[in-house]
């Protein structure tokens, strides 16, 4: 019995937070994540999310340009949009810029903005709903929340992501533009050049963490049990995006293979890559929770089997 307890402790079964997991425990969790990729069909899930993301991106862009037209000169969009598309492959960013040029030529009035916002929200909710369903799968949960509650959650998360996007746009683009008109504004503008990417990184990590905590149909995990997956997903997303962009730029020939659809295919693959990394981070969080017998959900602490969360109520086997 003592030997069994010692072996269990060596695998981090009594860890109260991720930092207390042992090396053997991390190894077990990572190997189980590898199995989750095939068992939960994460690549296929990511493809569905990417499809809805592609459908949502252009209505969202149209809405932002319409809002921009009410607040500023819409012709500035074409120049400023390159700031946000720097991480995209060249063909994908070129496709977005082409749509921007087309839309800025017919930027509309307030009614157009209202219609555009409604269309953008409707399109974006499909992508967010796909991510929530993906979170249920990687966390081992079934969706039985009332339709109204599920719809409300999707709308709130969509609105939150939209708000974060607008804050990012205001911070990265508008603040330097306004600052240049103020005394010593060049200092603020220069700072924003260097701070915009760390700020964008923080906003991305916060969005992913909120998705991990509130998306699955389960008792909410404590913040520390979503942190590792959030950091890992963000890091892999950055590395994967840069690597994919370099591959497209130097080795791939999508234009010759797909013709005029090449840019669309590249953008779709980038969406798939992004969704895959987010789902992979969720699977990592789930398997870390299953590595310990301790309660990983928010207080009050509950015994194993009564926590209303599959990842917290089950203990993962040694692979």
b/e burial code for range 48-78 (CB count within 10 A of at least 16 → b): bbbbbbbebbbbbbbbbbbbbbeeeebeebe
Give dist(CA 215, CA 307) in Å, integer.
17
> In terms of pLDDT, which residue wins out, 86 or 279?
279
What single string gives the DSSP state of each residue in 230-289? Answer: HHHHHHHHHHHHHHHHHHHHHT--HHHHHGGGHHHHHHHHHHHHHHHHHHHHHHHHHHHH
Do 139 and 218 touch, CB atoms closer than 8 A? yes
> In terms of pLDDT, which residue wins out, 124 or 73?
124
Residue pLDDT, tens place only, 188-245: 667 766 777 787 788 889 989 999 999 999 999 999 999 999 999 999 998 988 888 8
- The backbone region for 138, taken as left when phi is positive above 0, alpha when psi lies in -120 to 50, beta otherwise, is alpha
What average pLDDT does the chain have?
79
pLDDT at 46: 93
Residue 132 CA: distances (Å) to CA of 91, 97, 135, 279: 29, 30, 5, 10
Residue pLDDT, tens place only, 93-124: 666 666 566 655 555 555 666 666 677 777 77
Non-local (6+) Cβ contacts of 150 within 8 A are 132, 143
> In terms of pLDDT, which residue wins out, 48 or 248?
48
> In terms of pLDDT, which residue wins out, 305 or 60?
305
pLDDT at 107: 54
pTM for this model (two decimals): 0.82
What's the start-to-end Cα distance of the chain, in Å? 22
pLDDT at 250: 72
φ, ψ of residue 297 in degrees (nearest 5): -90, 170
The yes-or-no verdict on residue 125 having pLDDT over 80 is yes
Residue pLDDT, tens place only, 17-27: 998 999 999 99
b/e burial code for range 146-163 (CB count within 10 A of at least 16 → b): eeeebeebbeebbebbbe
Non-local (6+) Cβ contacts of 303 within 8 A are 295
Give the distance between the most distant pair of CA atoms in the chain.
75
- Bridge-partner residues for 305, per DSSP? none
DSSP class of 301: P
């Amino acid at each position: 019995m003592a030997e069994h307890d010692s072996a269990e402790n060596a695998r981090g079964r009594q860890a109260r937070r991720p930092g207390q997991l042992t090396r053997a425990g991390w190894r077990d969790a990572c190997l189980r994540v590898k199995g989750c990729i095939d068992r939960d069909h994460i690549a296929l899930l990511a493809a569905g999310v990417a499809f809805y993301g592609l459908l949502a991106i252009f209505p969202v862009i149209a809405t932002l340009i319409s809002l921009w037209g009410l607040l500023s000169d819409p012709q500035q969009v074409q120049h400023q949009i390159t700031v946000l598309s720097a991480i995209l492959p060249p063909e994908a960013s070129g496709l977005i810029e082409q749509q921007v040029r087309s839309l800025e030529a017919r930027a509309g009035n307030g009614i157009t903005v209202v219609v555009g916002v409604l269309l953008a929200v409707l399109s974006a909710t499909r992508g967010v709903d796909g991510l929530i369903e993906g979170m249920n799968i990687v966390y081992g949960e079934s969706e039985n929340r009332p339709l109204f509650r599920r719809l409300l959650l999707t709308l709130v998360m969509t609105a939150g992501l939209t708000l974060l996007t607008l804050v990012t746009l205001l911070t990265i683009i508008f603040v330097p533009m306004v600052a240049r008109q103020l005394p010593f504004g060049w200092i603020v503008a220069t700072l924003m050049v260097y701070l915009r990417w760390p700020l964008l990184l923080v906003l991305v990590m916060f969005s992913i963490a909120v998705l991990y905590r509130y998306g699955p149909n389960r008792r909410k995990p404590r913040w520390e049990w979503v942190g590792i997956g959030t950091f890992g997903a963000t890091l892999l997303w950055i590395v994967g995006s840069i690597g994919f962009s370099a591959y497209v730029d130097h080795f791939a020939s999508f234009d010759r293979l797909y013709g005029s659809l090449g840019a669309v295919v590249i953008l779709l693959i980038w969406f798939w890559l992004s969704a895959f990394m987010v789902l992979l981070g969720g699977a990592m969080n789930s398997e870390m929770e299953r590595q310990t017998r301790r309660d990983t959900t928010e207080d009050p602490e509950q015994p194993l089997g009564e926590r209303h969360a599959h990842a917290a109520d089950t203990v993962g086997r040694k692979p």
